[in-house]
């Protein structure tokens, strides 16, 4: 049994979900004291015409590449590294994290009353072996008034979240239908993640 894994994510939700699986983990985050700077904005930059599924898998792979290099650079013990990335898509339009409150309001206004996809890619690196998985869910928002959108944005919750909302927070009251993985929408699909961890010997059946 592998004693622990590294989680290359700053999301407290991903930590919480990984804890639900009973997996011991240590954070492997960028920009530690004395470490080299990493350009997360460049990693998350979209390519013209890139499909959402391709985008989220490519970004997850790049984040995992950076985490693997980070572990080696810091001389940390070898252990599997888990990385994940989530994006929201309406058609082929990708909705990442809002830049500011006005951007968050625009995103939510476009998602209101419509069905969008939430795509979460997961990747696990163990030695030279890498395994990946993709979770795609559909979320339907009820129509939202400008006042409802403004109140939600003013709460500060949309910031730092793909699509400018968190399914585990107050935004859930406006979700009229959900199909797929609730934990995937939160940021770490536990079915797919557990399958990768079992394959690596981290979890047992």
Active site residues: 85
CB atoms within 10 A of CB 104: 25
In Å, how far are 25, 69, 76, 129 from 79, measured between CA atoms? 10, 13, 9, 12
Which residues contact residue 165 at a Cβ distance below 8 angstroms, ignoring those fewer than 6 apart?
A: 108, 111, 152, 157, 158, 171
């Amino acid at each position: 049994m592998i004693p622990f894994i590294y989680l290359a994510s700053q999301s407290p939700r991903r930590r919480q979900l990984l804890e639900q699986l009973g997996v011991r983990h240590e954070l492997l985050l960028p920009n530690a004291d004395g470490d080299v700077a990493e350009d997360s904005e460049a990693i998350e930059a979209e390519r013209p015409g890139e499909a959402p599924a391709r985008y989220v898998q490519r970004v997850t792979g790049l984040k995992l590449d950076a985490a693997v290099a980070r572990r080696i650079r810091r001389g940390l013990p070898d252990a599997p590294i888990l990385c994940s990335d989530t994006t929201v898509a309406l058609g082929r339009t990708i909705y990442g994290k809002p830049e500011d409150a006005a951007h968050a309001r625009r995103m939510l206004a476009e998602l209101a009353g419509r069905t969008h996809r939430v795509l979460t890619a997961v990747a696990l690196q163990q030695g030279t072996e890498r395994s990946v998985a993709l979770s795609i869910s559909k979320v339907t928002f009820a129509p939202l008034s400008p006042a409802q959108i403004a109140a939600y944005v003013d709460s500060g919750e949309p910031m730092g979240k793909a699509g400018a909302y968190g399914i585990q927070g107050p935004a859930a009251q406006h979700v009229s239908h959900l199909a797929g993985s609730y934990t995937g929408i939160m940021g770490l699909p536990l079915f797919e993640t557990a399958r990768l961890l079992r394959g690596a010997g981290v979890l047992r059946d």
